[in-house]
Amino acid sequence: MNRLPQIRYVLLAMTLSLSSAIVLKADEAKSKPVTVSKILKVTHQIEIEESFPPNLYVKAIGEVPTGGYTNVKLERAIYVTPPKDGIQDYFLKAIPPSGPAITVISQVEAIDLWHGFPGWVKGIRMHGVKDGIVVIKFEPDQKPVRRRFTGGHVGDFAHPASFEKALQAAIKKLNEALYAGGVKDASVKWKVVKTSGQIGGIADLNQITVTIVAERQPAWPKKKQPQRIRQQKKPAVSK
């Protein structure tokens, strides 16, 4: 019996299996995330809630050589022993395109939320492959900058004051202050902290006031306190 056709079939099957394995390994290599080439911008926000410890938001924008990068994320370095300088290392990573991509320098970004970050963290260090390693040191006892915005709505007997319209008025003031300081990509979290109203009386009042507290990322610049001018005491005049 001629076994040559069977041997050829087995060799062909082995060749196909080997080729498939090589392709799979190549695809796996391509699908691994890599550290982006360059760090362009890093922002952070410390959110102090009623519970302790606080939360840390970190946002990074990086530069990649082509389009098509996916699964962008921030990775925190894990230490056996916390670094003595208190600086937490971050790496901005993304998966490069597996096929043809537009050869245009592009930007990628990612956000990391660290719930209850430890007290030893005094700053962050964002790593890129080539340029733009960014180090940010936290200010001592840094606290979030919060602003209050109040809106009101006046109604009448036929059309009572509306909570929704009072809230819209407060949010409108918030939107007007959102990009203060020339910030273009600001985001904000807000919550209602006070609601009050008044009805009746001689003037037949019917009104609602809503106050919200907002916290921006990046933080609003702190308002400068007016300097107090000390008045010099006039010399006593002898009679």
Q: Which CATH architecture has domain 146-217?
A: 2-Layer Sandwich (3.30)
pTM above 0.85, yes or no: no
| pLDDT cut 90: percent of the chain above it | 36
d(CA 9, CA 6): 5
Residue-wise pLDDT for 194-212, tens only, equals 999 888 777 677 899 999 9
Q: Is the pLDDT of residue 52 over 90?
A: no
For the ranges 52-56, 135-139, 197-201, which has the lowest average pLDDT? Answer: 52-56
Backbone angles phi, psi at 73, to 5 degrees: -155, 160
| pLDDT computed for residue 24 by the predictor | 43
| DSSP structural state of residue 131 | B
Q: Are 193 and 213 in contact (CB under 8 A)?
A: yes
Q: Among 43-57, 69-83, 129-143, 209-223, which range has the highest average pLDDT?
A: 69-83
User: What is the structure's pLDDT at 18?
Assistant: 53
What tokens does 109 get? 């970004």
Where in the chain are the domains?
Answer: 34-137, 146-217
What residue ranges in 26-99 does DSSP mark as E strands?
34-35, 38-47, 55-64, 70-76, 87-95
What is the distance of C-alpha 54 from the center of its chain? 15
% of the chain surpassing 70 pLDDT: 74
Choice between 78 and 185, residue whose per-residue pLDDT is larger:
78
